[in-house]
Chain A
Amino acid sequence: MRARVRTLGPFAGATLLLAVVALLAVTQGTTAIPLSTALAMLLDRLPFISVAAEAPESWQRILFDVRLPRVAAAGVVGAALSYSGAAYQGVFRNPLADPFLLGVASGAALGASIAIVSPLPIDSYGFGWVPLFAFVGACIAVALVYALSRTGGLSNNATLVLAGVAISAIASGITSFMLLTGGPRTFPIFSFLFGGFNTASWPRLLMALPYFVVGAVIVLVQARALNVLQLDEEQAAHLGVDVTRTKIIVLAAASVMAAAAVAVAGVIGFVGLIVPHAVRMLSGNDYRRLLPLTAILGAAFVIAIDLVARRALAPQEVPVGIVTEILGAPFFLYLLRRGRGGSL
């Protein structure tokens, strides 16, 4: 019984935290909705439950068409980036690996820039060409990195990272060139590069959702192999893990999750690094616990960060990527200093 509480305790705590943060986020904004009213409005939408909520019609639209999709997008993207970061760190056996290590961010930025500069219509609220190009750009970048780093059948970690650095540099170089020569038409690229949820919508989120779900399940199936990979790769092979296959599967699934996250919200750095690290300190290194906990807390973290991004300088919005850097980095340093230390 006690062991059960110890196993489920962190999950219950994390879920409660996520619920509180999400509720807070949907009530706060230019129009503040009282907590009790928001709760009543939300419960009323659930099947078989009817709660009389005295709320003006405009609140319905604000809550369900503006804030809820935004909070949902922030939650899903936060979960995906954190989860994918934890998977990358598992494969590279390095707490400094993040989901952008193999070119997801720069590939996505280049794809988005091409869509923005091209004569295709920029429709920021619908499905849109920009997220689609960003997603494809990210996937091409990672595939290129993997293909280039393959020497003699087995992909070596150092070669992978170096190929990632090189491909990222090429993609960023082309993106910068397009920014410099493209004129005012290219300005939307900046909002993509800094990331944010101001263009969040239900259709865009639903389009990306399958990639998150399928990617997460594929990585979770490899959780036990990731546990074994915490030892060195030779021991993992001796224990019966097909190391190369596991690495390819996990990196491909995690990269697709990160690519979909970037397509929804632009480049939000640091989340994939900081959240898994914090969760490791709370719950240890068992990936079967680490991965789901990372997703829940990653969602809560980015929803909170987005709330700050909306409210800190209201009515002006700060790009979310900038807030994660300014607030996330000191928090990360704090964790490093008070934590068990030795892991870096």
Chain B
Amino acid sequence: MTAAAPVRPPLLDVHDLHAEVGGRALLRGVTLHVAPGELVGVIGPNGAGKTTLVRAVTGLLRHSAGMVRLDGVPLETQPGRERARTMAVVEQLPEAPATMLVRELVLIGRFPHLGLLGRESARDRAIAGQAMARAGCEALADRMLGTLSGGERRRAFIARALAQEPRLLLLDEPTAGLDASAQGEILQVVRTLADDGAGVLMVIHDLSLAAAWCDRLVLLHDGRVVAAGAPAEVVTAEHLARVYGPYVTLLAHPETGAPLVVPAVR
């Protein structure tokens, strides 16, 4: 049920987390952890509690029981700016003025590092430039957000998160609404970030992509962890039948043997 303890101490340590909204229990005892250099995928059907988990872990939703530790420190004892220097979040549908330039957006990511009246220094601009390079949106620096495609926009917001210089990155559905090629490009960016040492927790709907790109997966259902561990251990016919019902089919990738999940065909 639970994965083997990570070798390195976890950046994110979620223990027996409970959360409710309007009296309805949406998380009922979720335990997971993310270590540096690790890409962990959170999967599960609609309503399983994936986005609630992100909101609880980022402090937007106060949990009713359990514990969230960020780099060993309980989440609720940390001031917001300090937290933002450790953890960056990219929401599902982040907003920003359509006339804002990509480089302006990315520079806003430096906020938690600056004093209240401080101006961005040359160093801040350099860090924002590196963030755009890592997210693959350097060429878009002088474009207005309103003129970007879905994939380009996603890169811009990932760059904004990277400008925070976080050690932990939370991504809520970074590939939702993108074409197959843009999905692959975004996941390559995310994979490289983890390989370079960041801990990444990513909510993702697409089970095949999750299995192909993540180090570990956590399968949520009704606010509980149904399975956690290596992709091949989590994405199994038994788990799929239990959580998704009869409308999905499990195949194996012809070259890699990785799990491929497709909607049931009539």
Contacts and interface: CB of A to CB of B under 8 A. Distances in A.
A228 B99 contact: no
Interface in A269-322: 284-286, 288
B interface bracket (residues with beta carbon within 8 Å of A):
20 to 34
B96 interface: yes
Interface stretch (A195-203, A229-237, A260-268, A330-338): A229-237
B83 A230 contact: no
Nearest to A288: B119
Contacts of A242: 80
A239 B100 contact: no
Interface string A215-250: 000000100100110111011011111100000000
A6 interface: no
A343 interface: yes
A234 B80 CA distance: 12
Contacts of A241: 80, 111
Contact of B95 (A235, A342, A343): A235
A239 B116 contact: no
B60 A237 contact: yes
Given A234-B60, A239-B109, A240-B83, A342 B116 contact: no
A56 B109 CA distance: 61
Interface in B75-133: 79-85, 88-89, 91, 94-100, 104-105, 108-109, 111-112, 114, 116-117, 119
Contacts of B99: 285, 340, 342-343
Contact of A232 (B95, B105, B146, B164): B95
A239 B111 contact: yes
A228 B107 CA distance: 10
Contacts of B72: none
A295 to B, nearest CB: 17
A241 B114 CA distance: 12
A43 B105 CA distance: 46
Contact of A224 (B83, B105, B116, B146): B116
A224 B80 contact: no
Contacts of A288: 119
Contacts of B117: 221, 224
Contacts of B114: 224
A2 to B, nearest CB: 15
Given A234-B60, A285-B99, A240 B112 contact: yes
Contact of B58 (A221, A238, A284): A238
A343 B99 CA distance: 8
Secondary structure dominating the interface of B: loop
A232 B157 CA distance: 12
B84 A238 contact: yes
B81 A234 contact: no
Nearest to B116: A221
Nearest to B82: A240
A13 B58 CA distance: 45
Contact of A230 (B82, B89, B96, B112): B96
B164 A285 contact: no
Contact of A239 (B60, B112, B146): B112
Interface string B43-78: 000000000000000111000000000000000000
B80 A240 contact: yes
A228 B116 CA distance: 12
Given A230-B97, A238-B91, A241-B111, 17 more contacts: A230-B96, A230-B100, A231-B108, A232-B94, A234-B60, A238-B88, A239-B84, A240-B81, A240-B83, A240-B85, A241-B80, A284-B104, A286-B104, A342-B98, A342-B146, A343-B97, A343-B98
Interface of A: 221, 224, 227-228, 230-232, 234-235, 237-242, 284-286, 288, 340, 342-343
29 contacts: A221-B117, A224-B111, A224-B116, A228-B108, A230-B100, A230-B108, A231-B95, A232-B91, A232-B95, A232-B96, A235-B91, A237-B80, A238-B58, A238-B84, A238-B88, A238-B91, A239-B84, A239-B109, A239-B112, A240-B79, A240-B82, A240-B111, A241-B80, A242-B80, A285-B100, A288-B119, A342-B98, A342-B99, A342-B146
9 A-B pairs closest in CB distance = A240-B81, A240-B84, A240-B80, A232-B95, A240-B112, A238-B89, A231-B96, A239-B111, A239-B84
